Amino acid sequence: MNGEKRDDCMEQMEQKLISIAVPVYNEQDNIDVLHQEIVRYMEPLPYRFELIFVDDGSRDATPLVLDRLTQQDARVRALILARNYGFQTALTCGMENADGAAVITMDGDLQHPPSLLPELIRRWEAGAEVVQTIRKDTEGASLLKKWTSRFFYKMINVISKIHITEGGSDFRLLDRKVVLSFRRFGERAKFIRGIISSIGYRQEFVYFVAPPRMAGVSKFSLGKMLHFALDGITAYSKLPLRIAFYMGLLLGLGSFFLLGHVLFIKFFTEEAVPGWATTSASVFLLGGLQLVGLGIVGEYVGRIFEEVKGRPLYLVRDELRKK
């Protein structure tokens, strides 16, 4: 090896590693383009990088595409999960398996533009430890999705102690220190946006407009979104439990006065009170409220149950990398 070549080699060894983790679920037509785009923006930078795909139990050709890609490019690795665990879990798996000095997470459908990568890294070089991107708008998103998303952020900011900026996405850069801290958060139902926004460190924001997804369809049904929202609320707020308690208190006091009223009528007046309407109405009301309260308690107890079982968060069926 001549001197110059060895210098090149040494220089490469000394370069810091940046990890990019991408959860993918049925994204067979997006992976190659995403890979090309990431290479295009990462190669000119003075860093080594690894691209980690986490296949979240895809049922299309995604694992095959990943198998081919990992053989073509040694910088690409893929973890194939045993089944579909959901986006947050796949993302967690990516962050737990990334070795870089900085770890970037992004979607696999090109809604998180790879052209922003150099900017995220520049902020990190300048000292930011969390570079969080904020979606100003999503081109082509339905009004329903925009509206429910806005409502969710408003609500969670009102009822919990944390503040999540509206439009906060899971496209962000984390310094290794933050990734190691994140790994210590033991909860299973991870609401990553909440954890990151409450984790502290030096945070900076980068704004962008998300383009429509490139190929395929959104994997988030209304049901999944609701579940995601519920995870966020129950992870960061005890307010629903308190509401049930206060409602009970209020009704308890109310019925105390009602009892006084009933006793007064019985002992001091001659009125015959038929009162069946009020009786049945209050039975319904109380029954309903009790069920709501029970449901809320049940939701939290169910989550405790999930946590204490202590099952592994995910199982990896296969790890693909260049042989």
Report the alpha-carbon distance of residue 194 to residue 163 in Å, rounded: 8
Q: Which range binds Mg ion by CB under 5 A, 8-16, 73-81, 210-218, 222-230?
A: 210-218
CA distances from 16 to 40, 98, 122, 123 (A): 18, 13, 14, 16
Residues of this chain, 94-123, that bind ligand UDP according to CB under 6 A: 107-109, 111
108 binds, among Mg ion, ligand UDP, none (CB under 5 to 8 A by kind): ligand UDP
Stretch 170-209: interaction string toward Mg ion, x if CB under 5 A: ----------------------------------------
Between residues 87 and 182, which has the closer beta carbon with respect to ligand UDP? 87
Q: How many residues does the chain have?
A: 323
Report the alpha-carbon distance of residue 258 to residue 307 in Å, rounded: 43
Give the HSE-up count for residue 240: Cα atoms under 13 Å, Cβ half-sphere.
Answer: 19
Report the alpha-carbon distance of residue 88 to residue 77 in Å, rounded: 19
Cβ-count burial 237-276 (b if 16+ within 10 Å, e if not): beebeeebeeeeeebeeeeeeeeeeeeeeeeeeeeeeeee
24 binds, among ligand UDP, Mg ion, none (CB under 5 to 8 A by kind): ligand UDP
Q: Which residue has the tokens 């959901």?
A: 86
The correct pick among 106, 213, 228, 237 for binding Mg ion (CB under 5 A) is 213
Pair of tokens at residue 231: 């995870």
The correct pick among 147, 151, 220, 264 for binding ligand UDP (CB under 6 A) is 220
Between residues 87 and 153, which has the closer beta carbon with respect to ligand UDP? 87
Tell me the site size for ligand UDP, rule CB under 6 A: 17
Strands (E), 26-129: 48-55, 76-81, 102-105
Question: Is residue 231 involved in binding Mg ion (CB under 5 A)?
Answer: no
**Shortest CB 311 distance to ligand UDP, Å:** 18
86 binds, among Mg ion, ligand UDP, none (CB under 5 to 8 A by kind): ligand UDP
Residues of this chain, 14-33, that bind ligand UDP according to CB under 6 A: 23-25, 27
Sign of the four-CA dihedral 301, 227, 107, 154 = negative
The correct pick among 15, 84, 148, 198 for binding ligand UDP (CB under 6 A) is 84
Residues that bind ligand UDP (CB under 6 A): 23-25, 27, 56, 84, 86-87, 90, 107-109, 111, 213, 218-220
